[in-house]
Structure 1
Amino acid sequence: MKIAIAGAGAVGRSIARELLSSAHEVTLFERLASHIDTSAVPDATWVLGDACELSNLERAQLHLFDVMIAATGDDKANLVVSLLAKTEFAVNRVVARVNDPRNEWLFGEDWGVDVAVSTPRLLASLVEEAVSVGDLVRLMTFRQGQANLVELTLPANTPLAGKPVRKLALPRDAALVAILRGKRVIVPQSDDSIEGGDELVFIAPEETEDDLFAAMQVAH
């Protein structure tokens, strides 16, 4: 895929390296010449220019890109980049970094954002996930479809132990996408059984989370 990243700070460069290692084509936009360091990510294409300016995106032919990642340290800039990418260049997937969790409510489809990533919220969710047993923990929100990635760790004495995945009475539009068991990551098949201590990862709309919790028969 062709991926553009606005902001070549530590976050943007790290994202670029990860994507390049997966054989994607990456272009980094950076408005400050002092932050341009081609040796840090030698396989990326570097553009000196503000990604908030339409002319710079036009010169880079952003309409040919599959993904735009707004990864600057400024929420206002990330919103502007996201809106331009979606409305002016019809980029299929726009991912935006949220620096201040208080601004997270802005990062939705009205500003062209498909997926908003809030580092503080994600870290807090991972802490909750590490210590919570029997509770649904929201890990990430996918704004475009208003669906959430949620995790539930089953207690050792769960009544679901031994039940096959096909017999889980999940609510409509909720899907079990992974079972984490020790060091194993299991892509669930219909005949796979649930065990106590399993970490279950679901994608579900927000309005079904209560029903999902009830379906898993786990008490607070």
Structure 2
Amino acid sequence: MRVAIAGAGAVGRSIAAELLENGHEVLLIDKNPSSISVERVPQAEWLLADACEITSLDEAALQRCNVVIAATGDDKVNLVVSLLAKTEYGVPRVVARVNNPKNEWLFNEAWGVDVAVSTPRLMSALVEEAVSVGDLVRLLRFSQGDANLVELTLPPEAALVGTRVGEVEWPQDTSLVTIIRGHRVLTPSKDDVLEAGDELLFVAAPHREEQLEDLLSLQRSAADG
């Protein structure tokens, strides 16, 4: 897979190193000469250019990329790069970094963004995920398709504890994608039985989140307990 990363700062270089380690082809683009540190990620391709300029993106052969990551520290730049990548070059997958949470509403399909990653929001969500039991936590927003990755840790008193996955009437527009149980990561099947303490990860439409949380937080009656 070929990936172009706009922004060769600490974030861009870290992403590049991870992708290269996983066997992908990576191009780092930055207009600041001081950011061109080939020795830090020698396996990557490097391009000194302004990623907001069509001529620069032509030179980068963006049409050959499977993924473009807009990872600069400037939200305006990340939006422009995302829009150009999607509309001018038809890049299948565009991921954009959100630096200021107040701008997150802009990072959507209209600007060519498939996945928006807000570091402050993600850190906050991970803190909530670590300490919250029985509350739905939004981990990631997928701009394309208007869906979120959400998590809930099943409390011991939840009505669904002891229920098979296939017996649950999940809300429409939601999909249980993973069950994290202790050190195990399970791909859910209809015969898996839900247990107290299970971390359930769903992809869900935003308007279904409240309904999903109500279902998962529903407690057993005293008679059942």
TM-score in terms of structure 2 length? 0.95
TM-superposed deviation, 1:157? 2.5
Q: Residue 177 of structure 1: CA displacement?
A: 0.6
Per the TM alignment, residue 217 of structure 1 is displaced from its structure 2 partner at its CA by: 4.3
| Paired residue type of 1:129 | E
Indicate the residue corresponding to 2:171 in structure 1: 171
Aligned to 2:2: 2
Query: For the Cα contact (< 8 Å) 1:174–1:202, is it kept in 2?
Result: yes
Matched, 1:88 2:84: no
- TM superposition shift of 1:98: 0.2
Partners of 1:130 and 1:216 in 2: CA distance: 17
**Matched letter for residue 143 of structure 1:** S
Amino acid at match of 1:139: L
Q: Distance in 2 between matches of 1:218 and 1:34?
A: 55
Alignment partners' CA distance in 2, 1:137 and 1:56: 40
Structure 2 letter corresponding to 1:144: Q
Residue 39 of structure 1: how far off its partner (Å):
1.2
Shift of 1:19: 0.7
- Which amino acid in the other structure matches residue 75 of structure 2? D
Give secondary structure in 1 for the equivalent of 2:46: strand
> In the alignment, what sits opposite 2:223?
none
**Structure 1 gap ranges (5+):** none
How many residue pairs get aligned? The number is 219
CA distance in 2, matches of 1:160, 1:35: 52
Supply the distance in 1 between the matched residues of 2:158 and 2:118 (Cα, whole angstroms).
32
Q: Which runs of 5+ in 2 are unaligned?
A: 220-225
Q: Give the Å deviation of 1:214.
A: 2.5
Distance 1:30 1:218 in 2: 51
What TM-score, normalized by structure 1, do the two folds share?
0.97
Q: How does 1:125-140 map to 2 (within 5 A)?
A: 125-140=125-140
What is the deviation of 1:59? 1.2
Cα distance in 1 for residues equivalent to 2:141 and 2:10: 24
CA distances 1:32-85 after superposition (whole Å, capped 9, x unpaired): 111111111111100011111110000111111111100000001101101111
Aligned amino acid, residue 83 of structure 2: L
Asked whether the 8 Å contact 1:154–1:218 carries over to 2, the reply is no
Q: How does 1:185-204 map to 2 (within 5 A)?
A: 185-204=185-204
Structure 2: distance between partners of 1:140 and 1:53: 29
**Are the aligned partners of 1:97 and 1:117 in contact in 2 as well (CA < 8 Å)?**
yes
Q: Supply the AA of the counterpart residue of 1:113.
A: V
- Rounded Cα–Cα distance in structure 1 between residues aligned with 2:205 and 2:159: 25
Aligned match of 1:106: 106
Q: Kindly report which structure 2 residues correspond to 1:10-159, keeping only aligned pairs within 5 A, or say none.
A: 10-159=10-159
Q: Distance in 2 between matches of 1:51 and 1:93?
A: 17
Counterpart amino acid of 1:152?
A: L
Percent identity over the alignment is 60
Amino acid at match of 1:185: V
How many angstroms apart in 1 are the aligned matches of 2:157 and 2:171? Answer: 23
Residue 141 of structure 1: how far off its partner (Å): 0.4
How many Å separate the matches in 1 of 2:33 and 2:15?
20
Tell me how far apart the structure 1 counterparts of residues 140 and 111 of structure 2 sit (CA, whole Å): 18
Shift of 1:104: 0.5
